[in-house]
């Protein structure tokens, strides 16, 4: 496979952009080699600047549940370009998107639009502090909630991929507001609340983790978080930036039947444009400025370009509930084909092949400690085996792969064939 153009661009990019990329995991540091510079996408396929074509399972890290350039989204963007890209004043479209979100996500009564998942999570934990008058946040090791100062403690995603210390540039006073606990361990949550429950404002959690690779909640875990937060008067925040509109139209909270106080959304809600949101109980959201005293603002928040894409996406998903059946079927087919030397975790169209014997410690990967036991050297060989044969997976052991509605039976059959050709011990 010729990658000379990508190599030349990457060498040049490293001169003017830190590490050559605008978000760390794109740099292939977790797997080695040269990242492909992408020229365009169509459906389930990516085309790089050297003319190589890939079936891809990254989907821009989550937003592209319908694949690249879905017609309803592209048409909506084209139409709004005739009117303007940003007004810095309210529009009817923002209201339409807010109502679509409220209609879809069971626990959301009011919602505020922002520009990134990071912003949504930062705002949600601030709001929780403002509402409860408490300072501490409980998070879980290996979960990622954006690059919010206080939430980088034991974070997943790129922090996990690069094995970075989580405190460089973060004042100790900020990290000290965070209690990081192992995922799926309710006893430790109860212990933390027994020790200082009157100081904890919220628990923020990925209801299904994607950012240490895919790790599902064990039965009772989310319900337990709901119970403990209620008992101690803390708020439960579901970070559904990845799971929202992916695991079902109502996200993980609909799938598991647990109702959080606040929810953060991103990725699919913006259909590939920069848009995210946080929302929840009306009495809590009413504390956000200008309705209340908790400040949060944004020059481009609710801009018509991103909002139109979001409306088109959410309207499509509302009118085509069969998308979720199709995703389940495609994903189950792929997850049935496990590469040699790996075990698989999957919920709906999120999945990860962890390169470890899933039975060695008598269970599947259920937290960050388990995920870290994976053999990242074998993962890297697997990744490059797939890439060389035209299948583009997330370039890290600690990320989830996504199946989209654009993947065809041919895509899936070819992917399965290439997986079967991988020998863990060549």
Of residues 68 and 147, the one with the C-beta less far from ligand PLP? 147
Binding residues for ligand PLP restricted to 202-221, rule: CB under 6 A = 206, 210-211
Say if residues 145 and 152 touch (Cβ distance below 8 Å). no
How many of the chain's residues bind ligand PLP (CB under 6 A)? 15
Q: Which residue is nearest to ligand PLP (CB)?
A: 117
- DSSP secondary structure letter of residue 141: T
Active-site hit among 54, 57, 144, 278: 144
SS3 38: strand
Tokens of 49: 């600047």
Q: Which residue of 48, 94, 239, 370 would you call a contact of ligand PLP, by CB under 6 A?
A: 239
Smallest distance, ligand PLP to C-beta of residue 284, A: 19
Two tokens, residue 144: 């990622």
Nearer to ligand PLP, 241 or 288 (CB): 241
Active-site residue 329, yes or no?
no
DSSP annotation of 54: E
Judged by CB under 6 A, the chain residues 108 through 137 that form the site for ligand PLP are 116-118, 121
- Given a contact cutoff of 8 angstroms between Cβ atoms, the answer to whether 245 and 104 are in contact is yes
Structure tokens at 298: 């944004």
Does the active-site annotation cover 414? Answer: no
For the segment 276-295, give every residue that binds ligand PLP (CB under 6 A). Answer: 276
**Cα separation of 349 and 327, whole Å?**
6
Out of 48, 54, 261, 267, the active site residue is 267
Q: Which of 262, 296, 313, 316 is nearest to 111 (CA)?
A: 262
Residue with smaller CB distance to ligand PLP, 6 or 202: 202
Smallest separation (angstroms) from ligand PLP to the CB of 385: 26
Query: Taking CB under 6 A as the rule, which mask of x and - marks residues 148-187 in contact with ligand PLP?
Result: ----------------------------------------
Phi, psi of 76 (to 5 degrees): -65, -40
Torsion of CA 232, 234, 237, 238, to 10 degrees: 0
Residue 265 DSSP label: E
Q: How far is the CB of 8 from ligand PLP (least distance, A)?
A: 28
267 catalytic per annotation? yes
Q: Residue 386 and residue 36: Cα distance in Å, rounded?
A: 14
Q: Minimal distance in Å, beta carbon 62 to ligand PLP?
A: 6
Measured from the CB atom, the residue of 5 and 60 that comes closer to ligand PLP is: 60
Residue list 334-393, contact with ligand PLP (CB under 6 A): none
CB of 75 to ligand PLP, least distance (A): 24
Which is catalytic among the residues 239, 261, 370, 411? 239
Could you give the CA distance from residue 178 to residue 165 in angstroms, rounded to a whole number? 15
- Closest separation between CB of residue 346 and ligand PLP, Å? 16
What are the helix and strand counts (H, E) for the chain?
15, 14
Beta strands in 32-161 (DSSP E): 38-42, 45-48, 53-56, 110-114, 136-140
* C-alpha span between 423 and 426 (Å, rounded): 6
Q: Which of residues 249-268 bind ligand PLP (CB under 6 A)?
A: 266
Nearer to ligand PLP, 226 or 246 (CB): 246
Exposure string over 100-139, b if 16+ CB within 10 A, otherwise e: bbeebbbbbebbbbbbbbbbbbbbbbbbbbbbbebebbbb
CB of 114 to ligand PLP, least distance (A): 9
- Phi then psi for 282, rounded to 5 degrees? -65, -35
Please, which residue, 45 or 145, has the CB nearer to ligand PLP? 145
Alpha-carbon distance 64 to 292, whole Å?
35
Pick between residue 19 and residue 358 the one whose CB is nearest to ligand PLP: 19
**Exactly one of 241, 268, 277, 314 binds ligand PLP (CB under 6 A); which one?**
241
CB of 418 to ligand PLP, least distance (A): 26
- 144 counts as binding ligand PLP under rule CB under 6 A: yes
Question: Which residues are marked as active site?
Answer: 144, 239, 267
Residues that bind ligand PLP (CB under 6 A): 116-118, 121, 144-146, 206, 210-211, 239, 241-242, 266, 276
């Amino acid at each position: 496979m010729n990658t000379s153009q990508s190599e030349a661009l990457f060498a040049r990019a490293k001169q003017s952009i830190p590490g050559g990329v605008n978000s760390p995991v794109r740099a292939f540091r977790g797997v080695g080699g040269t990242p492909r510079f992408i020229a365009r996408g169509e459906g389930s396929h990516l085309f790089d600047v050297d003319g190589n074509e890939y079936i891809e399972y990254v989907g821009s890290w989550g937003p592209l549940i319908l694949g690249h350039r879905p017609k309803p989204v592209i048409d909506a963007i084209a139409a709004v370009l005739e009117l303007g890209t940003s007004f810095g004043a309210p529009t009817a479209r923002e209201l339409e998107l807010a109502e679509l979100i409220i209609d879809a996500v069971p626990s959301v009564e009011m919602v505020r639009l922002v520009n990134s998942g990071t912003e949504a999570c930062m705002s949600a934990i601030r709001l929780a502090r403002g509402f409860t008058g408490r300072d501490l946040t409980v998070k879980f090791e290996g979960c990622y909630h954006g690059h919010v100062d206080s939430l980088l403690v034991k974070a997943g995603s790129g922090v996990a991929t690069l094995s970075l210390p989580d405190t460089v540039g973060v004042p100790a006073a900020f990290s000290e507001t965070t209690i990081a606990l192992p995922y799926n361990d309710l006893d430790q949550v109860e212990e933390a609340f027994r020790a200082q429950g009157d100081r904890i404002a919220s628990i923020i959690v990925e209801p299904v983790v994607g950012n240490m690779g895919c790790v599902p909640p064990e039965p009772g875990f989310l319900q337990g978080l709901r119970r403990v937060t209620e008992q101690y008067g803390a708020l439960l925040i579901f970070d559904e930036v990845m799971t929202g509109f992916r695991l079902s139209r109502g996200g993980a909270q609909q799938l598991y039947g647990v109702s959080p106080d606040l929810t953060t959304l991103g990725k699919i809600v913006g259909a590939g444009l920069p848009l995210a949101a946080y929302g929840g109980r009306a009495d809590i959201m009413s504390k956000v400025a200008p309705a209340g005293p908790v400040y949060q603002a944004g020059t481009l928040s609710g801009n018509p370009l991103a909002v139109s894409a979001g409306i088109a996406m959410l309207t499509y998903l509302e009118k085509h509930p069969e998308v979720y059946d199709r995703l389940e079927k495609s994903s189950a087919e792929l997850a049935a084909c496990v590469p040699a030397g790996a075990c698989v975790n999957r919920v709906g169209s999120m999945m990860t092949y962890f390169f470890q014997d899933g039975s060695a410690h008598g269970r599947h990967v259920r937290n960050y400690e388990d995920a870290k036991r994976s053999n990242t050297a074998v993962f890297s060989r697997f990744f490059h085996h797939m890439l060389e044969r035209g299948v583009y997976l997330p370039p890290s052991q600690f990320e989830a792969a996504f199946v989209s509605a654009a993947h065809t039976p041919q895509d899936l059959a070819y992917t399965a064939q290439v997986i079967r050709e991988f020998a863990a011990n060549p």
